[in-house]
Amino acid sequence: MFLDADDVEAIAQRVAELLGPSAETGELVEARQLAAILRVRVGFVYAHKVELGGVPLGDGPRPRWRFDPEVARRALAARNQMPPAPRRPAADARAVARRRSTAALPPGVKLLEGRKHGDRLRA
């Protein structure tokens, strides 16, 4: 089988159509644009920038990030298919209060007693 230049061009055009507009144009979008496309918050995009295929522009301490929407969509779909991470049980409120009340104070420091609800200030 032999493919001429027209056949190769037709195949390339069809592949570009199947991959979507970002693959066709090669354009990268900003985090705010990606957040709108994925319907997530901008903070989520920045928190998962590497996972979403982000590309840093520049090598300074705070480079601007650009994203390929199709890569990000695939990453988000794969992320949503993963089982959720197990959550740690919430700390018992009494244990938290105990830790606060038993905190070590420097020698000679006394705690001030607060007013109770309903007490009036005396002049």
Long-range contacts of 111-114 (CB under 8 A, 24+ apart): none
Give the pLDDT score at 24: 46
Instruction: Dump pLDDT digits (tens) for 7-18.
Output: 888 887 777 666
Q: How far is CA 111 from CA 15, 86, 102, 120, in A?
A: 73, 40, 12, 20
Angle formed at CA 112 by CA 106 and CA 115, multiple of 5 degrees = 155
pTM of the model: 0.48
AA identity, residue 27? E
9 contact partners, CB below 8 Å, separation of at least 6:
none
